[in-house]
Chain A
Amino acid sequence: MLGKLDWSAIPLEQPIPLIAGGVVLVAILGVLLWVVVKGYLPYLWAEWITSVDHKRIGVMYVLLASVMFLRGGSDAIMMRIQQAIAYQSQGYLPPEHYNQIFSAHGTIMIFFVAMPFVIGLMNLVVPLQLGVRDVAFPTLNSVGFWLTATGALLVNLSLVIGEFSRTGWLAFPPLSELTYSPGVGVDYYAWSLQISGVGTLVAGINLVTTVLKIRTKGMSYLRMPMFCWTTLASNLLIVAAFPILTATLAMLLLDRYLGFHFFTNEAGGNLMMFMNLIWAWGHPEVYILVLPAFGIFSEVVSTFSGKPLFGYRSMVLATMAICVISFMVWLHHFFTMGAGPDVNAIFGIASMIIAVPTGVKIYNWLFTMYGGRIRFATPMLWAVGFMVTFIIGGLTGVLVAVPPADFMLHNSMFLVAHFHNVIIGGVLFGAFAGFTYWFPKAFGFRLDETWGKAAFWFTFIGFWVTFIPLYAAGMLGMTRRMQHYDVAAWRPWMFWAAIGMALLSIAVICQITQVVVSIRNRDALRDRTGDPWDGRSLEWATSSPPPVFNFAFYPDVRGEDAYWALKQHAKEQQLEHAEPEYQDIEMPRNSPTGFVCAFFATVTGFALIWHIWWMVILGCLGAFATFVVFAWRDHDEYVIPAADVAAIDRANLEERRNLVSMAGAV
């Protein structure tokens, strides 16, 4: 009746996951109870859970990423402590638990922190920057978000019901095959990635279509803000690369469920093909994450230097070059697999070439800052910190792109330090920069600068104290994923890394404090103009937070830096404009389709993991029924009457006018 599921699935003999799971469960129940008692449930359902508004979906993505960041960060803390004390001893984590932790850390940080964070920021900002009212497929967007949340839920469920994968974040066979991993760990891993992968693909299709098809008047390709360009490139990569991941994991699942032999040791399977395919997705994935971050830095550097982006067109070219070349370098993840010198040489050279467009970008940012009036607000600190960190991470990357060097450094702590150097220094710094930069746009008040700067400095210093020792340990021959070790020379470095981890934990506490303090002082930090940073692109042309329809009128774009030009040429005139003729606006209706779909996807995924076949059928039928109901809907839009639009827009313009006249009086 319940497949493989019985009481032995609850890991009663392992206190750590059980206590962690218990605490999380109590917290979730507490929040739910509070929501119900306070009567917020109808509001949450109507305004957030069923929302198809791109801004709200973006906020929910970032919230999901933040919660999962705490989970992935806890894993990181546990690993650092384990390696600091497990010298000639077993430490405090048994091997099978330690293996689950490093697998979960990688899986969560890439798929459920970095991905939702950047997709959330793109969702929030891109339609605003393009000067339009919505994305191309609003309901599909909501489905994509909730499917991502399903994947995250399944990963967290593995903490208390069953176990997680012990095979590393990419589940290499033959270890991940049924022979060597008979438990449900790999199934949890594969099904949560399959489901959230569909969500990511859907989000990618939506954003590509939005950038290509829905832009305001005069917003030609070469007038789009840089963030829109990197969004386009990143989502093209999603659309091209995620099907490879889905196909590869599907083959692994066929091996595990139906006795196929794609990647097995015996019966003609070829496990090398798994490495080849997973990295054909895996390398573009790196650029899917970092390209939006490049876009964020472009916006931030240009805004806080008070100058247009230097070399806009070369930046566009570099972005699109990275988009294509990122599909030509994947073998550098397995130089040591034995494809031979010809193949290794070509992919090594391609890997070095891809550093060129990235270098172009760095110079462009530097020249943007050159001669500008730089304001070192928190987002700008993240951007400058990124440039320093990312250059060093990039240089160690070029080093391991040399095949002979890679033979020495493959799978060492040096490699671990390298990819953390680019992913933390690139993606995470970018996500935090974007978070502080666009927070006022999303919520209508700025974040506290003191705590924001504290968070930056603790992250920046903590990062180097953690990862320089890992570079050093790698040079001393330490391999990755060691549960314990006997080499005395590595030990001091592991201590330093643990101290760095403590600094990074303080940084996270600063971030949380920053948000709490800012919410408390929100009246003092209120952004009434909608343009708190003296911005340059169209998202700052509307109020903070923007009305549901974003813009009462489609802005007319006449050049790059659309809003800056508007401000320079006609600040006064625009505000003193004669009352425009407001028109009715049609907006898509909210729909529970995404949430219901994800509910059935969760049921299906859980049932597949535990081989509960009747529940699989029920889940699939439910998801299909949801689709049919949605497809047969009669009304999908509602009308905001011109009078309401006028009332909202007049209030916004009034606020701006007051501020301008006050500034004039001073």
Chain B
Amino acid sequence: MSDLTHHPVQHDLAPGEEEIHSVGERIVGYVVGLGLALLLTATSFFIAGTNLVWQPSIPIAIIVLAIAQMGVHLVFFLHITTGPDNTNNVLALAFGLLIVFLVVGGSVWIMSHLNENMPAMDQIMRMQ
């Protein structure tokens, strides 16, 4: 549909479409992203094995680091920004997150209630 460009249609950027930046700026962006991603990965591995922090906080720390990792990927590699040219991408991301939250959260909730009401056979044995 290249001929749609005959009209100055206001359009969003699609994922993968680059805003016009100089090559230098873009390389800096990717390098910063790579650095942050590596840092977050290294921290996760470090936290998992360390004795320096309170043990029960480790799983939460790893979850936080994982979410931060996703954020880094979205911003530096997939170029999701809050700018007006990115509305569709942000909305798609939000819709995706909502559905994942509903399906995963809902499943965990349903299945945990189910397991509580109808425990597996070995659990019943243990209770007796």
Contact = CB atoms under 8 A, between A and B. Distances in A.
B99 A340 contact: no
7 contacts: A132-B4, A213-B11, A214-B4, A273-B107, A280-B103, A339-B114, A340-B117
A339 B110 contact: yes
Interface in A130-149: 132-134, 136
Which of A136, A214, A277, A280 gathers the greatest number of chain B CB atoms within 10 Å? A280
Interface in A198-245: 212-214, 217, 236, 240, 244
Contacts of B12: 213
A450 B1 CA distance: 42
Contact of A214 (B1, B6, B110, B117): B1
B3 A276 contact: no
Interface in A227-286: 236, 240, 244, 270, 272-273, 276-277, 280
Contacts of A575: none
Contacts, number: 66
A337 interface: yes
Interface residues of B, number: 27
Nearest to B102: A327
Interface string A528-540: 0000000000000
B116 interface: yes
Contacts of B111: 270, 272-273, 276
Which residue of B99, B102, B116 has the most chain A CB atoms within 10 A of its CB atom? B99
B3 A586 contact: yes
A486 interface: no
B65 to A, nearest CB: 26
B101 to A, nearest CB: 10
Interface in B93-128: 95-96, 98-99, 102-103, 106-107, 109-111, 113-114, 116-118
A327 B110 contact: no
Interface in A319-342: 324, 327-328, 330-331, 337-340, 342
Q: Residue among A214, A244, A330, A343 with the most chain B CB within 10 A? A: A343
B99 A240 contact: yes
B3 A343 contact: no
A103 to B, nearest CB: 26
Contacts of B99: 240, 327
A40 interface: no
Contacts of A280: 103, 106-107
Nearest to B88: A212
A352 interface: no
B2 interface: yes
B7 A240 contact: no
B9 interface: yes
A536 B69 CA distance: 50
Interface of B: 1-4, 6-7, 9, 11-12, 14, 88, 95-96, 98-99, 102-103, 106-107, 109-111, 113-114, 116-118
A217 B9 contact: yes
Contacts of B116: 340
Q: Which among B1, B11, B106, B109 has the highest number of chain A CB atoms within 10 Å?
A: B1
Nearest to A337: B114
A662 to B, nearest CB: 35
A585 interface: yes
Contacts of A45: none
Contacts of A270: 111
A554 interface: yes
Nearest to A346: B109
B114 A277 contact: no
A244 B12 CA distance: 29
B1 A340 contact: no
Contacts of A337: 114
A276 B110 contact: yes
Contact of A240 (B88, B95, B114): B95
A467 B38 CA distance: 62
A331 B12 CA distance: 37
Contacts of A213: 11-12, 14, 88
A217 B7 contact: yes
Contact of B96 (A240, A273, A585): A240
A240 B113 CA distance: 25
Contact of B113 (A217, A273, A342, A637): A342
Interface string A545-571: 000000000100000000000000000
Contacts of A133: 1, 3
Contacts of A132: 1, 4
A361 B110 CA distance: 31
A507 B9 CA distance: 48
Contact of A134 (B1, B9, B95): B1
B70 to A, nearest CB: 18
B114 A236 contact: no
B22 to A, nearest CB: 27
Closest 6 CB pairs of A and B: A339-B113, A240-B99, A339-B114, A340-B117, A327-B102, A343-B113
A622 to B, nearest CB: 28
A270 B102 CA distance: 20
